[in-house]
Amino acid sequence: MKSIALLPGDGIGPEVIAEAKKVLAAVGAAYGREMTFESYPFGGAGIDECGDPYPEVTAAGIRRSSAILLGAVGGPRWDALPLEQRPERGILRLRADLDVYANLRPVRVHDVLLSYCPLRPELAKGTDLVIVRELTAGIYYGERGRSRANGEWQAYDTCTYTASQIERVVRAGFETAQKRRKILHSVDKANVMTTSGLWREIVGDLAPEYPDVKVHHLLIDNAAMQMMRSPSQFDVLVTENLFGDILSDEASMLAGSIGMIPSASLGPDVSLYEPIHGSAPDIAGLGLSNPIGTILSAAMMLRHSFGWEAEADAVEAAVFRVLEEGYRTRDMTKVGTEAVTTSEMGSLVAEEVLKMSAKV
């Protein structure tokens, strides 16, 4: 029996979580797996219900759970709040609380999606990469402030990394590469930043422990360019918190939409799974959102938290079967073609999981 904590959050969060839950229920029925679901207030919904984006009831609930599936948080309703009270701060506190330092963001350009990629198909073909983003330190967690100096405002954010914070995520990068094509690109800004200097040194020190992995160092600006020039050269990229955030949104478009990309945030204890996109207030409540990133996040949960490989494979196969059949949500619909709604997409994937298991 696995207990899954659902944090639907705001905007399209609840819509995409509902579809992932539908698919998980199909997995349970098809494979005889027992899962329970409990929803907790989080983000803007946490502020509205409990006055806190990461309420105590949520913190207590997730400690009793086997894994956490999060939708998205934030929106114009809470944008005027001071930074430390905003929905997004709930995410930062949650990640720190769980110590989920390794955030895996896989981007795969399936052949059926090639024509949705803004790059020429011959450039994007075969792209299958994972960004391993450091998630619990760096500039997101450094000292920040704003004050008046010499008659004007000044503001600062600081980026700090300890050697052990770097080492553990770099090891996650090497280990991820060892299970794949054994190429690791470490992405930094070592020509300017001292944290990057330490980062590069540690990657160099650890490399001899992983002799089967070919290591490259890339500066972040070059990495962003290479991602558009030749994305299929990448296998695993490991990088700090802010660079990983930006690089993963850029890379998401290779798969046709930010709505396609899942993530797993792994740490020593309970892990967290979430799509990489935000709450998309512009399309919330209209049935236009793509639930696939959240459904694939649920698949990562089955694999990484529960060790249910066959079930995770089945969800991923079901998603690509539905895409092969030509179904698309609005974000990936070409002019003159019909879109399915968020809920229809979830149902199609759930039905496919059931159909596939009936054939086994």
| Binding interface with ligand IPM (CB under 6 A) | 88, 91, 245, 276
Q: Is 79 annotated as a binding residue?
A: yes
Residue 197 CB, shortest distance to ligand IPM, in Å, is 24
Q: Could you give the angle at the alpha carbon of 106 between the alpha carbons of 103 and 109, nearest 5°? A: 165
Options 127, 176, 196, 290; binder of ligand NAD; rule CB under 6 A: 290
331 in active site? no
Contact 328, 340 (CB under 8 A): yes
Q: Is 87 annotated as a binding residue?
A: yes
Question: Which part of the chain contacts ligand NAD (CB under 6 A), choosing from 24-32, 207-215, 275-283, 308-316?
Answer: 275-283
**Rounded-to-integer distance, Cα 161 and Cα 238, Å:** 15
Residue 91 CB, shortest distance to ligand IPM, in Å, is 5
Q: Is 78 annotated as a binding residue?
A: yes
**Rounded-to-integer distance, Cα 140 and Cα 84, Å:** 12
Supply φ then ψ for residue 182, to 5 degrees. 65, 35
For residues 235 and 245, which CB has a smaller minimum distance to ligand IPM in the complex?
Answer: 245
245 forms part of the interface with Mn ion (CB under 5 A):
yes
52 in active site? no
For residues 188 and 245, which CB has a smaller minimum distance to ligand IPM in the complex?
Answer: 245
Contact 102, 168 (CB under 8 A): yes
Q: Where are the beta strands (DSSP E) in the chain?
A: 2-9, 35-39, 67-72, 102-108, 128-134, 144-149, 152-157, 183-188, 214-219, 236-239, 264-266, 272-273
For residues 74 and 173, which CB has a smaller minimum distance to ligand NAD in the complex?
Answer: 74
Choose from ligand NAD, ligand IPM, Mn ion, none: what does 259 bind? Cβ within 5-8 Å by kind.
ligand NAD
Q: Is 135 annotated as a binding residue?
A: no
**Rounded-to-integer distance, Cα 315 and Cα 30, Å:** 11
Question: Which part of the chain contacts ligand NAD (CB under 6 A), choosing from 168-176, 192-200, 271-279, 306-314?
Answer: 271-279
Q: Is 9 left (phi over 0), alpha (psi -120 to 50) or beta?
A: left
**Rounded-to-integer distance, Cα 23 and Cα 325, Å:** 18
221 in active site? yes
Residue 277 CB, shortest distance to ligand NAD, in Å, is 3
Contacts with 7 (C-beta within 8 Å, 6 or more apart), sequence order: 13, 17, 39, 40, 42, 43, 58, 62, 68, 69, 70, 71, 94
Q: Is 233 annotated as a binding residue?
A: no
Q: Could you give the angle at the alpha carbon of 333 between the alpha carbons of 17 and 345, nearest 5°? A: 30
Choose from ligand IPM, ligand NAD, Mn ion, none: what does 290 bind? Cβ within 5-8 Å by kind.
ligand NAD
Residue 75 CB, shortest distance to ligand IPM, in Å, is 11
Helix 292-304, helix 342-359: angle, nearest 10: 40
240 forms part of the interface with Mn ion (CB under 5 A):
no
- Amino acid symbol at 79: D
Residue 14 CB, shortest distance to ligand NAD, in Å, is 12
For residues 207 and 284, which CB has a smaller minimum distance to ligand NAD in the complex?
Answer: 284
Binding to ligand NAD by CB under 6 A, coded x per residue (else -) over 43-72, reads -----------------------------x
8 forms part of the interface with ligand NAD (CB under 6 A):
no
Binding to Mn ion by CB under 5 A, coded x per residue (else -) over 128-167, reads ----------------------------------------
Contact 73, 43 (CB under 8 A): yes
355 in active site? no
**Rounded-to-integer distance, Cα 202 and Cα 164, Å:** 9
Contacts with 351 (C-beta within 8 Å, 6 or more apart), sequence order: 26
Residues within the interface to ligand NAD (CB under 6 A) = 12, 16, 72-75, 88, 91, 257-259, 274, 277-283, 289-290, 293, 331
Residues designated as active site: 140, 189, 221, 245, 249
List contacts with Mn ion (CB under 5 A).
245
